[in-house]
Structure 1
Amino acid sequence: MDFLAGFSAAQIAVAIAATLGAAFVRGLTGFGFGILLVPILALALTPVEAVLAINIMAGLLALTEIRLILREAERSALLISTLVVVGTAPGLMLLAATPQDLARLLIALVALSAFGAILLPRRSAAQPGAGATTAVGLSAGVLTGFAAMPGPPVVPYYVGRDIPRATAKASMIGIFGVAAVAGIASGSAIGVLEWKIVSLGLALFPLVLFGNWIGSLAFGKVSDPVWRSFVGTVLGAAAVAALLKLV
């Protein structure tokens, strides 16, 4: 464990437990990994360390599912992914310049917004216009850099529409994979990606694979109302817990 010498035993324990839980939810839903994990991990690590470690894990996970993405994702995912790349670096620079306590509060609020988005009524399957799609992509990029959470704008874009669950899941997985790579590249470019962060992400990745696999076994075996209720409950609990810890 010398490669994790930069972290305490308590930090590593929190990271292990939170990563397993978040990976399970990600396998079941296709999203929620960063939304769930960042608020918890940012209480044990600095916000920048938490965001970059999660981007490393999320990027590696997306690479294992590239065939699913190419087969099932909606074409809109390509445009949104491109815009995510544009917005990520400004978001990470904003995070690096924000006081840690304020950053933790803002990250928790972002997670809470994802809970609210899940509760919105479902819309038709029609793809939103270019303006709405552009706004989703750019805001997801900024949130990728600032909180490793492209989910709050992306999730309602897909889950909120009456499209096949497999299409929504594959589209989100593809976008989140690109977002993770953009976050890693931006962190390296601005000089905040340290070797100990890379080590932590790589060390936790087997847990991500295991938790995601268990969650994937349940995907499609629960009804849509149960699926949405489960996601909303977990997202809300994670956001509220992070807010209460800060207060």
Structure 2
Amino acid sequence: MPNRPLEDLAGFSAAQVALAVAATLGAAFIRGLTGFGFGILLVPVLALALTPVEAVLAINIMAGLLALTEIRLILREAERSALTIGALVVLATAPGLMLLDATPPDLARLLIALIALSAFAAVLAPKRGPEQPGVVTTAAVGVSAGLLTGFAAMPGPPVVPYYVGRAIPRMTAKASMIGIFGLAAMAGIGSGTALGVLEWRIVVLSLALFPLVLLGNWVGSLAFGKVEDAVWRTCVGAVLGAAAIAALVRLV
């Protein structure tokens, strides 16, 4: 049997693995810097090499493992609203994954890219006061984030404005988002398993990429808090917008 270490990593080609490595490292850096952006950045890119379902499940596995390494930060710094939103995300994730599985791959890739593009506008929206939004708004954020978790591994578009768009400490916003995204990832993994769409080769690929996630997240965390807030928001928004536009261009 010929030796092809990169040609058959759990059934993925060398080109697919190379794209996954580069995209994962970059997305993990942004996640470490901001507390969000991992799925928003990575899904549109991975979905060009893998099927949308494979991309979403792989990212959920990596994001879930990463959140477990930061559990102390979450418990210490997160806002109470994160628990409510996280619980609703868990309930709404399975319907989102079922919708993704029933959507043609090309249409799913387009919708995922558009979802990522929406995060660009959300991050750059003007800041509000520190007051926590009401029950209806909080519930809407949780349900929509759950649906987007299942469909695109992207709970970020509704969650990011909820926290980053308010005048609260950056660490509180980051820890709250990390906690919600961790629960979202776990829900995505559970839903994929229950629906029978989580294959072992996706697990293998995710575990192989996870050391890169840890590395990129660590480097990004070193830069967290060392830039002014306005610069931080602008840079992150620009990265998110560029990722979504790149995915759209590839689709066209």
TM-score range, shorter chain: over 0.9
SS at match of 2:249: helix
1:225 aligns with 2:225: no
Note if contact 2:10-2:204 (Cα within 8 Å) is conserved in structure 1: no
Tell me which of 145, 150, 156 is aligned to 1:145: 150
Q: Who is 1:164 aligned against?
A: 169
Alpha-carbon separation, structure 2, partners of 1:119 and 1:16: 28
Gaps of 5+ in 2: none
Q: Who is 1:56 aligned against?
A: 61
Tell me which of 204, 211, 214 is aligned to 1:209: 214
Alpha-carbon separation, structure 1, partners of 2:239 and 2:124: 13
Q: Who is 2:240 aligned against?
A: 235
Listed one character per residue, the Cα deviations across residues 43-77 of structure 1 (whole Å, up to 9, x for unaligned) are 00000000000000000000000000000000000
Alpha-carbon separation, structure 1, partners of 2:235 and 2:72: 27
Deviation at 1:119, TM superposition (A): 1.5
Q: What amino acid maps onto 2:39 in structure 1? A: G
Deviation at 1:4, TM superposition (A): 1.9
Q: Who is 1:44 aligned against?
A: 49
Deviation at 1:168, TM superposition (A): 0.1
Alpha-carbon separation, structure 1, partners of 2:36 and 2:123: 12
Listed one character per residue, the Cα deviations across residues 214-244 of structure 1 (whole Å, up to 9, x for unaligned) are 0000001111011001100100000000001
Deviation at 1:5, TM superposition (A): 3.3
Q: What amino acid maps onto 1:102 in structure 2? A: L
Note if contact 2:61-2:206 (Cα within 8 Å) is conserved in structure 1: yes
Q: Who is 1:88 aligned against?
A: 93
Q: What amino acid maps onto 2:81 in structure 1? A: S
Q: Who is 1:128 aligned against?
A: 133
Q: What amino acid maps onto 1:11 in structure 2? A: Q
Q: What amino acid maps onto 1:115 in structure 2? A: F
Tell me which of 52, 70, 75 is aligned to 1:70: 75
| Backbone CA RMSD of aligned residues | 0.9
Note if contact 2:61-2:186 (Cα within 8 Å) is conserved in structure 1: yes
Tell me which of 98, 104, 116 is aligned to 1:99: 104
Deviation >6 Å, runs of 4+? none
Q: What amino acid maps onto 1:196 in structure 2? A: R
Q: What amino acid maps onto 1:84 in structure 2? A: V
SS at match of 1:4: coil
Q: Who is 1:246 aligned against?
A: 251
SS at match of 1:220: coil
TM-score, with structure 2 as normaliser: 0.97
SS at match of 1:125: coil
Q: Who is 1:173 aligned against?
A: 178
Alpha-carbon separation, structure 2, partners of 1:28 and 1:174: 15
SS at match of 2:220: helix
Note if contact 2:58-2:202 (Cα within 8 Å) is conserved in structure 1: yes
Alpha-carbon separation, structure 1, partners of 2:221 and 2:17: 25
Q: What amino acid maps onto 1:213 in structure 2? A: W
SS at match of 2:197: coil
